[in-house]
Amino acid sequence: MGYNVLSGNVLLPGQLLADGQVSSSAFVGDGKELEHVLKITSNPDQYNLTTIGADAYKLTGESNLTFNGGTNTLTVTGEVSASVGISSSFFIGDGRFLTNVPVRGGIFNELTNNLAATTSSIAVGGSTAPDHAVAVSGAMSASLYISASGFVGNRLHISGAVVYHHKTSTATMTASVDDYYIGMDSTAAAVELRLPDAAVLTDGHTYIIKDEGGEAGTNNITILASGSQTIDGENSLVLESPYASLSLYCNGFDRYYVY
């Protein structure tokens, strides 16, 4: 017996054979015997991300693996393991846990607000450095020893030149934590250089102060410590000779020293 259209519930004790298509708003059952239906035919690992257990006929959304097509972001909650390499145009993050990374120039990881560590030595100079020089925008701590090229123990060796921060003032000013060379010009009048609270600096912080106007003999340049702090036991020192200079370092607590 043949029918062009079947409606309602159709119960067949055997197979349903059709030369054309069989369609329905829904099929009841597990569909294991349906052919030409996309499904996983082999699932050797029960932890396959798109299946539950070892049942190839059940698919699920994995909560720890999401893909937002709108932002093209694949998000994995947990670790990513690969038997070979993982490549990307760039990696986001501080990279502190990356291993076996070939490094040119070093990868820095912040340890504290003013201390960083590197996973490799640092090569300074050569064709990749402008004019073969190193520019330091702020002050350089005395704990940094400069000699030749690369790290040796706790010393940084640099093969090129070192450029320190330089500031010039024709009026009374307060030195900042970023200053190193401070040129005072007292051509117009006597001026003061006020040092910051030693406690805001790092132990070994250094200043070099110079009479750049050459008029300190006429218009003195006074260097003042903060509050009751001292410079070699005195609250202030005076440059009173033309083109005089003074080098100071700080203990990072309450005083400065001339060296």
Helix (H) or strand (E) segment spanning residue 115: strand 115-118
Which has more confidence, 57 or 133? Answer: 57
Most confident segment among 51-65, 79-93, 122-136, 219-233: 219-233
Q: With a threshold of 0.75, does the pTM exceed it?
A: no
pLDDT confidence of residue 52: 60
Q: Confidence band (pLDDT; 50, 70, 90) for 230?
A: very high
Q: Which domains does the chain have, with CATH numbers?
A: 34-61 (no CATH), 108-163 (no CATH), 166-258 (2.60.120.640)
pLDDT confidence of residue 55: 65
Rounded CA gap, 66 and 70, in Å? 12
Q: Confidence band (pLDDT; 50, 70, 90) for 3?
A: low
Closest to 184 measured CA to CA, from 166, 196, 198: 166
CA angle 130, 136, 108 (to 5 degrees): 90
CA angle 126, 128, 132 (to 5 degrees): 45
- Strands 65-68, 73-76: pairing is antiparallel
Mean predicted confidence (pLDDT) in 138-163 = 59
- Would you say 160 and 144 are in contact if contact means Cβ atoms under 8 Å apart? no
Which has more confidence, 155 or 115? Answer: 155
